[in-house]
């Protein structure tokens, strides 16, 4: 064989191998090689194609990003219209749909009942049509108005999960196959994109759907490629006559899958209406864990024969319905902005809203984070705004609708004094946050400090919630943290909605909190930038509170996680006479922790070992697990290599677990951490 022939053989093999990896990754969800190996193959392919441009073919996996088209998007006519779906806004409306279908089928010539349903997630993206001729992707179009869309082939080619060439089967590929489905932006990509937008002081996208739409309508495919969109198919459009499509929706989706087209794994057959509702409930539970946004469930009659019998009304099929989740986004009016003072004096702008029902609750406040965010959103008082509340997260103001701005809209301005204590407000260079300079003179800061002190991860005072702390502060029963330990049951029992019993319980909980650990106590003090993990590291390093209080900046910085800024906050905190008094008062009140012998380096059981943590841990956070391992002398690395001694694998461990197994690295469950001391 000549050198040229060898190279061409290699080229073919590389293309086939890359296509195969894509299929395993995007369709089967079972990647076989690490990303680095995939990249190596791709680079080898690109190198050959660079030397031999005459060998480049449009279906080569390297040819995803092409040049900009000269004109805008051309029009595409849909031979079979792209329909929409009727919506059911709740379970009752779905049951009414089921009843309509049952009645319709019963009155048919050969009376029959509804067979199975297929349930699919309602993907929140954009409908597209992909046209494959003889196995090659030749055209992609948006839905448009259903009969006419736009030609977005060049942008669609950049979506890595969409095959440029269908997988060859034992059965021949159809001469023509039109695949329909949803292009969407995975949540991880959306978050990354918005993070970048924030850093570059650009407007963020309100939601993944808008981000996907904006990315797909780019005239430059190179930009679309960077947005890392994804695709799942949900139906078949035109097909050439010689090809035999399966007789149910479920089987058709499997056919598509076998051609290498991605279909979500979240689909399920439901034998009756009850099973559909069960699926709806289950997927709603699962929603927060999914890698993509969904806004409901699409239920379709599974049998194609029955679908044909039921037909269409205007632009929607009779045999399918979208059962929507309660909206997570709504519009309302921004009535004003208040500034709330936090524990460290940070002033947070909070939007006061005309009450709106969103994500299952009525919302009248939403956080605006800081003034940089207010500026970035370009929002003004009086604006119509979009509010989002997903799951249990605090409501966010995600965008202002400028076209609806009233003429008397007002700018949002930062106050120059603290709304609570009237001390001046400062903005440190390089920080987005405004701060009240009042320190513990400011009653708002004191109250927040007490809430933090009592919280679960700090002193864990059961029954002392935020509302009760507010009451204690308002009545001046507690002004300083240490006053907590002077409270008496008699005083507490007199408060509204308290009684003898709950007062006794609270006093007992306060008493119990005295028995703590040094790490929890350091964290409870609420020193700026000192979170739970840093507090643990400090406790492990200094062992004695006294040594920590007297430590030099240099010594502080020798502790894991502590840099010059944290060291400065620690020193400022411990140098403050008020804080010193508070600490003595707290110790005087009886707060104590077991004294620990400082372990010498030779006693550290995991000294010299390198660990990697992966998957979701259920009994502690990743950072806690890391701190624990490090306190015993181990190093914690981000990726598995032959130098790794052990992997701690939580739930849903993925590629790192696989790699550890391949390399023969020891793998432990999270219970391993619990038995370490």
Site of interaction with ligand IVH (CB under 6 A): 83-85, 120, 122-123, 127, 143, 182, 234-235, 298, 317, 320, 322
* C-beta of 322 vs 399, nearer to ligand IVH: 322
Contact 123, 161 (CB under 8 A): no
Strand order in 294-301's β-sheet? Answer: 87-88, 320-324, 294-301, 117-123, 268-270
| Residue 312: strand, helix, or coil | strand
- Cα–Cα dist 387/540, whole Å: 43
Residues paired with residue 176 on neighbouring β-strands, in sequence order: 133
Contact 189, 225 (CB under 8 A): no
- Transcribe 95-155 into DSSP letters: HHHHHHHHHHHHTSSS------EEEEEEE-SEEEEEEEETTEEEEEEE-TTSSEEEB-HHH
Beta strand pairing call for 320-324 and 87-88: parallel
Residue 321 CA from chain centroid, whole number: 28
* C-beta of 250 vs 485, nearer to ligand IVH: 250
Residues paired with residue 183 on neighbouring β-strands, in sequence order: 126, 231
* C-beta of 123 vs 530, nearer to ligand IVH: 123
Least separation in angstroms between residue 671's CB and ligand IVH is 40
Least separation in angstroms between residue 127's CB and ligand IVH is 3
Beta strands in 278-369, from DSSP E residues, in sequence order? 294-301, 312-313, 316-317, 320-324, 329-341, 346-358, 361-367
CA distances from 546 to 412, 522, 583 (A): 46, 12, 11
Least separation in angstroms between residue 553's CB and ligand IVH is 56
| Catalytic site includes residue 122 | yes
Structural Rg of the chain based on CA atoms: 31
The two structure tokens encoding residue 356: 């709106």
Of all residues in the shown chain, the one whose CB is closest to ligand IVH is: 127
Least separation in angstroms between residue 513's CB and ligand IVH is 51
Q: Which residue among the candidates 3, 122, 476, 494 is catalytic per the annotation?
A: 122
Least separation in angstroms between residue 495's CB and ligand IVH is 53
* C-beta of 127 vs 185, nearer to ligand IVH: 127
Least separation in angstroms between residue 235's CB and ligand IVH is 5
| Residue 165: strand, helix, or coil | strand
* C-beta of 298 vs 648, nearer to ligand IVH: 298
* C-beta of 320 vs 519, nearer to ligand IVH: 320
Residues paired with residue 130 on neighbouring β-strands, in sequence order: 140, 179
* C-beta of 267 vs 454, nearer to ligand IVH: 267
Contact 190, 211 (CB under 8 A): yes
* C-beta of 82 vs 503, nearer to ligand IVH: 82
* C-beta of 146 vs 336, nearer to ligand IVH: 146
Number of H helices, E strands in the chain: 24, 24
- The residue behind tokens 């190596």 is 40
| Residue 467: strand, helix, or coil | helix
Burial of 497 (0-12, 13-18, 19+ CB in 10 A): exposed
Least separation in angstroms between residue 120's CB and ligand IVH is 4
Least separation in angstroms between residue 506's CB and ligand IVH is 51
| Residue 321: strand, helix, or coil | strand
Least separation in angstroms between residue 182's CB and ligand IVH is 5
Least separation in angstroms between residue 324's CB and ligand IVH is 9
* C-beta of 276 vs 506, nearer to ligand IVH: 276
Contact 77, 282 (CB under 8 A): no
Least separation in angstroms between residue 185's CB and ligand IVH is 14
The two structure tokens encoding residue 245: 């499509």
Among 576, 589, 567, smallest CA distance to 521 is for 589
- Cα–Cα dist 579/526, whole Å: 11
The two structure tokens encoding residue 20: 């195969």
Close Cβ partners of 633 (under 8 Å, ≥ 6 residues apart): 601, 604, 605, 606, 607, 608, 609
The two structure tokens encoding residue 28: 């089967």
Residues paired with residue 384 on neighbouring β-strands, in sequence order: 333
* C-beta of 49 vs 182, nearer to ligand IVH: 182
The set of catalytic residues is 122
């Amino acid at each position: 064989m000549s050198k040229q022939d060898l190279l061409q053989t290699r080229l073919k093999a590389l293309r086939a191998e890359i296509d195969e990896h894509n299929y395993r990754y995007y369709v089967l969800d079972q990647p076989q090689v690490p990303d680095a190996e995939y990249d190596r193959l791709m680079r080898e392919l690109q190198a050959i194609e660079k030397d031999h441009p005459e060998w480049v073919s449009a279906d080569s996996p390297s040819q995803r990003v092409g040049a900009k088209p000269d004109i805008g998007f051309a029009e595409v006519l849909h031979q079979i219209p792209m329909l929409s779906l009727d919506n059911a806004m709740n379970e009752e409306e779905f049951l009414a749909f089921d009843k309509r279908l049952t009645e319709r089928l019963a009155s048919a010539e050969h009376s029959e009942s509804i067979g199975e349903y297929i349930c699919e997630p309602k993907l929140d993206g954009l409908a597209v049509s992909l046209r494959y001729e003889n196995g090659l992707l030749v055209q992609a179009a948006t839905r448009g108005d259903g009969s006419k869309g736009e030609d977005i082939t060049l942008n669609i080619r950049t979506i890595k999960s969409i095959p440029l060439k269908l997988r060859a089967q034992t059965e021949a590929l159809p001469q023509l196959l039109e695949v329909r489905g949803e292009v969407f932006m995975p949540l991880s990509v959306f978050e990354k994109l918005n993070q970048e937008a924030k850093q570059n002081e650009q407007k963020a996208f309100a939601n993944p759907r808008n981000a996907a739409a904006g990315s797909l309508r780019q005239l430059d495919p190179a930009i679309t490629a960077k947005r890392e969109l994804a695709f799942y198919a949900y139906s078949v459009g035109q097909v050439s006559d010689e090809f035999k499509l399966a007789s149910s929706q479920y089987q058709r989706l499997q056919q598509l899958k076998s051609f290498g087209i991605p279909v979500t794994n979240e689909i399920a057959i439901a034998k009756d209406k009850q099973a559909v509702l069960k699926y709806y409930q289950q997927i709603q539970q699962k929603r927060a864990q999914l890698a993509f946004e969904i806004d409901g469930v699409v239920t379709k009659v599974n049998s194609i024969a029955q679908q044909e019998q039921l037909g269409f009304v205007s632009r929607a099929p009779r045999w399918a319905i979208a059962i929507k989740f309660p909206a997570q986004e709504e519009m309302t009016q921004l009535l004003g902005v208040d500034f709330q003072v936090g524990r460290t004096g940070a002033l947070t702008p909070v939007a006061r809203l005309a009450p709106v029902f969103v994500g299952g609750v009525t919302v009248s406040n939403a956080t605006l984070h800081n003034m940089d965010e207010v500026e970035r959103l370009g929002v003004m008082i009086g604006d119509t705004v979009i509010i989002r509340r997903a799951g249990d997260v605090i409501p966010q103001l995600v965008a202002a609708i400028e076209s609806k701005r009233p003429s008397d809209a007002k700018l949002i301005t930062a106050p120059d004094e603290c709304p609570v204590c009237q001390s001046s407000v400062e903005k440190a260079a390089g920080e987005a946050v405004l701060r009240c300079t009042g320190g513990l003179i400011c009653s708002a800061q004191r109250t927040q400090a007490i809430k933090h002190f009592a919280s679960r991860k700090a002193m864990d005072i059961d029954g002392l919630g935020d509302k009760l702390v507010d009451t204690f502060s308002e009545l001046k029963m507690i002004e300083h943290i240490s006053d907590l330990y002077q409270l008496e049951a008699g005083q507490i029992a007199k408060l509204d909605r308290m009684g003898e019993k709950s007062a006794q319980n609270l006093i007992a909980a306060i008493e119990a909190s005295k028995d703590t650990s040094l790490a929890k106590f350091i964290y409870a003090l609420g020193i700026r930038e000192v979170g739970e993990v840093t507090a643990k590291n400090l406790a492990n390093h200094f062992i004695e509170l006294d040594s920590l209080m007297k430590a030099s900046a240099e010594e502080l910085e020798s502790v894991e996680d502590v840099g010059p800024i944290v060291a400065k906050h620690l020193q400022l905190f411990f140098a403050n006479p008020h804080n010193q008094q508070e600490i003595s008062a707290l110790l005087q009140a009886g707060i104590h922790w077991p004294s620990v012998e400082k372990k010498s380096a030779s006693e550290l059981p995991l000294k010299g070992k390198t660990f990697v943590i992966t998957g979701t841990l259920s009994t502690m956070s990743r950072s806690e697990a890391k701190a624990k391992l490090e306190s015993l002398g181990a190093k914690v690395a981000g990726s598995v290599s032959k130098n790794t001694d052990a992997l701690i694998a939580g739930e849903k461990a993925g590629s790192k677990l696989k790699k550890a197994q391949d390399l023969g690295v020891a793998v432990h469950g999270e219970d391993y951490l619990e038995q370490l001391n």
